[in-house]
């Protein structure tokens, strides 16, 4: 079996973490048939230890794990600034669970049972947005208020001090600073930052905006840079 769109599998290493042996073997089999380099584990703690020494473009992660839960593993990885893409899945289909998955750092959240065509489509969509696959940034500097952005260095600073931004947070800030005063809808931000083929939860936009505000605003609960325009979307300064 080959990919339907283009061959991204040669460079992609995937880690599957699932306590359910049958489901884990099935997921790994589907991914391996597509040509991906796949490793699997059944325990969150073992996955955490492995990820201290090995890098993966995409981690397919069950919410329910022994050792360390999927939520906790995802949170720990993001606190460590791990840049792997994370596709979390679970049999729980409540808004609260989906939002929690996104808030702890998952890039997408899939509910079981799911079709493997959709699963593969989501994996491919995520991998097309991996930071290492993007084009080189343009050498330019943007300034606004106390913020400076250096796209050629993938670096941002506030009051002269560097701030750590995830790839999506950086791209959001770059887009905002390139187009001050413009109002962006959630759909437009998804198309610009996550890609037109994104099929995940739109709430990921709100989650990333909140994270960005926490890093660039003096008072994130009363933002002075990224404003919510009710009924429309978001505006920068």
Give domain status of residue 66, yes or no: yes
- Domain end: 133, 150, 175, which one? 133
Shared domain for 52 and 107, answered yes or no, is yes
pLDDT averaged over consecutive 10-residue blocks of the chain (237 residues)? 39 89 92 90 94 93 91 90 89 84 89 88 81 46 88 86 90 91 91 79 91 95 94 92
- Domain end: 89, 114, 133, which one? 133
Shared domain for 98 and 161, answered yes or no, is no
Shared domain for 152 and 121, answered yes or no, is no
Structure token pair of residue 217: 């605003």
Count structural domains, the chain: 2
| Domain membership of residue 158 as a residue range | 142-236
Shared domain for 123 and 209, answered yes or no, is no
Shared domain for 122 and 167, answered yes or no, is no
CATH of the domain at 217: 1.10.10.10
Shared domain for 91 and 164, answered yes or no, is no
Rg of the chain over all Cα atoms, to the nearest angstrom = 18
Provide the pLDDT for residue 91.
Answer: 86
Give domain status of residue 1, yes or no: no
Which pTM was predicted? 0.59
DSSP designation for 229:
E
Give domain status of residue 2, yes or no: no
Structure token pair of residue 32: 């391996």
Provide the pLDDT for residue 11.
Answer: 55
Provide the pLDDT for residue 236.
Answer: 94
Shared domain for 113 and 29, answered yes or no, is yes
- Domain end: 133, 150, 180, which one? 133
Shared domain for 35 and 116, answered yes or no, is yes
Residues 6+ apart with CB under 8 A from 17: 40, 41, 42, 43, 44, 47, 59, 60, 61, 62, 65, 70, 73
Shared domain for 129 and 21, answered yes or no, is yes
Provide the pLDDT for residue 4.
Answer: 37
Give domain status of residue 3, yes or no: no
Shared domain for 48 and 113, answered yes or no, is yes
Spatial separation of the C-alpha atoms in residues 89 and 163, rounded to whole Å: 31
């Amino acid at each position: 079996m080959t990919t339907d769109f283009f061959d991204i599998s040669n460079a992609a290493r995937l880690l599957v973490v699932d306590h359910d042996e049958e489901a884990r073997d099935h997921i790994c089999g589907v991914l391996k048939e597509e040509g991906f380099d796949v490793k699997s584990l059944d325990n969150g703690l073992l996955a955490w230890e492995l990820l201290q020494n090995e890098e993966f473009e995409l981690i397919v992660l069950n919410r329910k794990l022994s050792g360390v839960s999927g939520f906790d593993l995802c949170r720990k990885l993001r606190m460590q600034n791990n840049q792997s893409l994370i596709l979390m899945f679970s049999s729980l289909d409540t808004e609260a669970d989906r939002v929690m998955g996104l808030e702890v750092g998952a890039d997408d959240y899939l509910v079981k049972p799911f079709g493997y065509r959709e699963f593969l489509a989501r994996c491919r969509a995520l991998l097309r947005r991996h930071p290492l696959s993007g084009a080189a940034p343009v050498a330019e500097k943007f300034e606004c208020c106390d913020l400076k952005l250096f796209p050629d260095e993938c670096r941002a600073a506030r009051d002269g001090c560097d701030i750590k931004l995830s790839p999506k947070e950086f791209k959001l800030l770059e887009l905002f600073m390139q187009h001050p005063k413009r109002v962006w809808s959630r759909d437009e931000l998804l198309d610009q930052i996550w890609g037109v083929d994104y099929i995940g939860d739109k709430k990921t936009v709100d989650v990333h905006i909140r994270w960005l505000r926490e890093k660039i605003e003096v008072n994130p609960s009363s933002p002075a840079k990224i404003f919510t325009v009710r009924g429309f979307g978001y505006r920068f300064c």
